[in-house]
Amino acid sequence: MELNEANLNTLTDFLRKTLDPDPAVRRPAEKFLESVEGNQNYPILLLTLLEKSQDNVIRVCAAVTFKNYIKRNWRIIEDEPNKISESDRTAIKANIVNLMLSSPEQIQKQLSDAISIIGREDFPQKWPDLLTEMVTRFQSGDFHIINGILRTAHSLFKRYRHEFKSNELWTEIKLVLDTFAQPLTELFKATIELCQTHATDINALKVLFSSLTLISKLFYSLNFQDLPEFFEDNMETWMSNFHNLLTLDNKLLQTDDEEEAGLLELLKSQICDNAALYAQKYDEEFQPYLPRFVTAIWNLLVTTGQEVKYDLLVSNAIQFLASVCERPHYKHLFEDQNTLTSICEKVILPNMEFRSADEEAFEDNSEEYIRRDLEGSDIDTRRRAACDLVRGLCKFFEGPVTAIFSGYVNSMLAEHAKNPGANWKHKDAAIYLVTSLASKAQTQKHGITQANELVNLTEFFCNHILPDLKSANVNEFPVLKSDAIKYVMIFRSQLPKEQLLQAIPLLVAHLQAESIVEHTYAAHALERLFTMRGPNNSTLISPAEMAPFTEQLLSNLFKALSIPGSSENEYIMKAIMRSFSLLQEAIVPYVPTLIGQLTHKLLLVSKNPSKPHFNHYLFESLCLSIRITCKANPTTVGSFEEALFPVFTEILQNDVQEFVPYVFQVMSLLLEIHSSSIPSSYMALFPHLLQPVLWERTGNIPPLVRLLQAYLEKGGASIASNAADKIPGLLGVFQKLIASKANDHQGFYLLNSIIEHMPPDSITQYRKQIFILLFQRLQSSKTTKFIKSFLVFINLYSVKYGAIALQEIFDSIQPKMFGMVLEKIVIPEVQKVSGQVEKKICAVGITKILTECPAMMDTEYTKLWTPLLQALIGLFELPEDDSVPDDEHFIDIEDTPGYQTAFSQLAFAGKKEHDPIGEAVSNPKILLAQSLHKLSTACPGRVPSMLSSNLNAEALQYLQGYLQAATVQLV
């Protein structure tokens, strides 16, 4: 694409169309942009537009499109096409920093993100001057530029907070510190001085405080992995200034907004984080500063109001106290009974209250409320921080803290009892306190796994939780009902089974509550209870125990999806999936009606897929209903196809990228259930599955290969007779996959199915070419994964077509090739093969080479006979060799590169492991003994003499054992 006016205008038109609400206009424009993004100059055109376009909307749209383009394509993935030319890469890196600094803030943020994505791949090796270019701008004195640099540095360095330690990481951080730490410290001091100079200028202060917040975030990232020497030497500068900023109160920076945190709150929150980091990780060096930070943060907590805008500050400040109080050598700061009482009264209790802001979120922003309360999202709430502080204090002072709070819990419950209608918030706080006191250790899978001995959970359940669950009106006091449901869910591993069984019908009833939070919690609690395991590893709650409530459960779950606000509620869909999985054949009578509802739901969400978890559980539920029903009666598969195929056709025709891999998995499941040949509806689709465009997307490859394997298994013969012209297409797919290090194993899955299921004469003409392709790949890049797959393939070939056919095809490519493969690949590498079925195939294949291939007995290949037998006995008896060469550790089957829709495996569409040899050979060791016996009777005396001359003693001993077990001997 040339850099000219015409192309800029075309691009502008298409960008404008991508903003159109009408999908008929928007989708084609998105497709067009996707189709040209591999062209040279495309990113440069976008950058030109975002710099020079007169239309602000187009500038922002170009910036977002550019960032997403970089996100998808910058990383170079082996075997994948590189969509950004080297000249474009160089031009982008040369201009992007300047462009970012001269752009308005909205665009600056997008470009800053793009720089950090590029930096993630290229910095420091391929972009060595990035840092110096950034640091020199600190001298500009222009804070629009300085904040742009700080924002970029923050998005570049924040990954240091969660990277694993490695030499590479240390080298990079050291480089950053050498270049960046000194200028950052100078900037920090200069900015603080400027704050004093401009103490009365609100506009200047706003910019300066944004800088200080970003500088504090950078301090956190650069100090996270280890305490750098530079910061240790300059601790006085940083900590005394941090301390002053914590105690600073500038009236000009206070905001009237009760919701949104102001600059002062954001800065102080980050400083609390920084202090907590030092207190936890570098306590020895930080000790001199700790007492004054504890005092400052304590005063902050006691004087800060209950408004929402202070939430982050308060929760970070409490988290600081929580991290300090559980360190043994700060214990003395908290030992005094008065201190404990004062913390409980002044910090913990006020922050446990259910505020009107929480009530609003509960009613109007339920999704956010659930995310914070159930999932513990990153946004720390006051309640969670207070809860963590209770846990921290209980580490050393469990007795006194429990005693102090028990009094409060009882008085809150008494208050509630006086007037339940008005005082429900007292009970809510009491339940929250009991929960935080009782829970010591928690996991996602089991809920609370360790509880405080001093709290009687069962008694509290009977007296205070059960009455709320039993109340006839599920819509009354929804917050307390949700608390009660959450209590059952959290303490499910502590409560006795009979209480859980008592709760189940009550939870089923709560699925009908109007409150989104309440019915979501009910669905989530049921789902968690259904996954619990009993003593013999079966589910704790059995289908028989669920029988009285099955109909109500299924009916209420599906009704809950029609309550406004929950039409795509992932917790309900997960509960549907889990109910199917638990109830198994008990759902069969209901499936005919349920499948209609699931299909209808699928049709609706496929129009605009927005909830990936919901969609995943929806497909899992479809798979379960197919599996369970067809297990009871395989002929019902046709009715599922009738219900699902119209929707699947629409999904495939509209190319709904998120759903295509799922559709292929469900189709594989359906096709595998068919007992005889392939129905015509599938055959019509077969040619389309070979289209190269489908194979471009990484996420499609595993499910498509599996679907093609199902086609071959059910209808290899009919493909050979009715669609022989499609065989080259099928082998084309194999050729594409085999060329890729990431997907070569998928190519072998396909090839093995072709060998196993296609009539031999239908592929005779292609066989030699297949082997040549494999050898070319062996020569160009020989990885352990490829070798393992190659070994399984040649042995399957030997099992299927015979050892003579294998030897002849090798030697037809090049004389003596068969011997080279045995000597260089089979004998040294067979120990690496993993998996029961794979080992069995190799054992049977090698046995055939040893005993059914005359060339092994009478040519120069004979010298390989004993080493090959030794390797086979090693495969039986030695541990698997799982060593991988150093330069290969990154190649892994599960490694899905880049940002494409990764392949999401459906657990309930799982494929049964297939053994191509099956019952024909139950024990390969016995087969070896019998085959050797047969060979020795054909040429007496040869086999024992070959064994005695070269086989080592240990292997010989094992072989004697096989012969005895098979009750045969060698002659």
**pLDDT 10s digits, 716-739:** 999 999 889 999 999 999 999 999
pTM of the predicted structure, to 2 decimals: 0.85
What's the pLDDT score for residue 890? 42
Residue 476 to residue 473: CA distance in whole angstroms: 6
The beta strands (E) that lie in 151-279 are given as none
**Per-residue confidence band for 342, with pLDDT thresholds at 50, 70 and 90:** very high
Residue indicated by tokens 């917040």: 213
Report in angstroms the alpha-carbon separations of 27 from 23, 24, 147, 633, 747.
5, 6, 37, 42, 33
Q: For a pLDDT cut of 90, what percent of the chain falls above it?
A: 80
User: 89 is written with which tokens?
Assistant: 């890469």
pLDDT at 309 over 80: yes
pLDDT at 479 over 70: yes
Of 860, 876, 844, 850, whose CA–CA distance to 935 is shortest? 850
Read off the amino acid at residue 686: F
Spatial contact of 684 and 645, defined as CB atoms under 8 Å apart: no
What's the pLDDT score for residue 778? 93
DSSP H/E element including 370:
helix 366-373
User: What's the CA dihedral at 405, 407, 413, 414 to 10 degrees?
Assistant: -160
The beta strands (E) that lie in 374-497 are given as 439-443, 447-451
Classify residue 814 as left (phi > 0), alpha (psi -120 to 50) or beta.
Answer: beta
User: 763 is written with which tokens?
Assistant: 């592929």
Q: What is the pLDDT of residues 69-94, one digit of tens each?
A: 999 999 988 777 788 999 999 999 99
Residue 389 to residue 324: CA distance in whole angstroms: 10
pLDDT at 344 over 80: yes
Report in angstroms the alpha-carbon separations of 262 from 151, 268, 296, 301, 312.
18, 10, 19, 17, 11
Q: Name the average pLDDT for the chain.
A: 92
Residue 19 to residue 23: CA distance in whole angstroms: 10
Average pLDDT over residues 181-197: 96
What's the pLDDT score for residue 886? 61
**3-class DSSP assignment, residue 238:** helix
Cβ-Cβ contacts under 8 Å for 450 (sequence gap 6 or more): 439, 440, 441
Task: Tell me whether residue 535 is exposed, middle or buried, using C-beta atoms within 10 angstroms of its C-beta: 0 to 12, 13 to 18, 19 or more.
Answer: exposed
Radius of gyration of the chain (CA): 34
Of 683, 707, 684, 711, whose CA–CA distance to 695 is shortest? 707
Of 254, 152, 249, whose CA–CA distance to 202 is shortest? 254
∠ Cα 8 10 14 (to 5°): 115
Cβ-Cβ contacts under 8 Å for 714 (sequence gap 6 or more): 671, 672, 674, 676, 677, 678
